[in-house]
Structure 1
Amino acid sequence: MRRRFVVYGLIGWCMEIIWTGLQSLLQRDVKLVGKTSIWMFPIYGLTVFLEPLCVKLKQRHIAFRGGVYTVCIFIIEYATGSLLKKLLGVCPWDYGKRRFSVKGLIRLDYAPAWFVAGLIFESLYHFLVKSGIHESKSSFS
């Protein structure tokens, strides 16, 4: 579980850096500078706790699975953002001035991106299982 936590954290970081780098194109910044926060590593690592959901949803339609992952990601984003604001007084992301923001912690217009991200992490999970980077539920190694 620890190894997969690290893999999910690293892949999440990479996806966020690519996402923020590509968003700079909207400002016509061809440097494509991407960024993330150290706090995001454990947040993306929490994907490991969605693995049982991946197994349960395996036979469901892709649209249903993506929708479920989107809702889960919104819940995790809202909960971790709220927790960081409570503990630190700040959150690594601030969507407060965005049109579809919910308390500055989630952006509903990001639903398509989270839909795709959820399916990417689902594919990554299945790849990790096939690769043998999948320990039994009782181990944390």
Structure 2
Amino acid sequence: MDINQLIFWGMFGLTVELFFTAITELITKKNLNLMGHSSIWMFPIYAFGLSYGFDLIKLIIPNDFLRYFSYPFWIWAVEIIIGYPTSKLGVRIWDYRYLPHKKHWKGIISYVHFPAWIFFGILVEMVKKFVN
């Protein structure tokens, strides 16, 4: 386990999330403050998920197109595995309940983010080529 790799990917994930949420607010609400948001709880999720999870997926699914298309399902699995139990404890690390009812499941997974998760997966793969 390389601590520098974990720190890099934890920070990378948080940074991408901050940019994504700030730009989403700009586009949807015309909010010029560009203030993104995340939870510190996301740091270990990004650190381990991006350090090791994406490599595992690449081993399991070597075909680029199929792997890109699968990323939202892997991410939803993580969101359910982590988000459901934590929500039962009263902790919402992320919360999609702001979306209309049919566009999310219990605020834990967002169907709307399907294309964003594909692009995020491709971005992670591109960055991994330079970092590793």
The verdict on a shared fold, with TM-score over 0.5 as the criterion, is yes
Aligned ranges for residues 117-132 of structure 1 at < 5 Å?
A: 117-129=120-132
Cα offset for 1:3? 2.6
| Structure 1 runs, 4 residues or longer, greater than 6 Å off | none
Aligned to 2:83: 81
Cα offset for 1:92? 2.1
Q: Please, what TM-score do these two structures have when normalized by structure 2?
A: 0.84
Aligned to 1:16: 17
State which structure, 1 or 2, has the greater radius of gyration over its C-alpha atoms: 1
Aligned-residue CA RMSD (Å) = 1.7
The one-letter code matched in structure 1 to 2:15 is C
Specify the SS of the correspondent of 1:98. coil
Distance 1:96 1:127 in 2: 36
Q: Report Cα offsets for 1:66-102 as digits up to 9, x if no partner.
A: 112221111111211113223x412122223523101
Aligned to 2:99: 98
Q: Which has the higher contact order (CA 8 A, sep 6+)?
A: 1
Instruction: Tell me the matched-pair count.
Output: 126
Counting aligned pairs with the same residue, the percent is: 29
Specify the SS of the correspondent of 2:128. helix
Flag structure 1 segments of 5+ consecutive residues without an equivalent.
130-141
Distance 2:111 2:70 in 1: 14
The one-letter code matched in structure 2 to 1:7 is F
Q: Please, what TM-score do these two structures have when normalized by structure 1?
A: 0.79
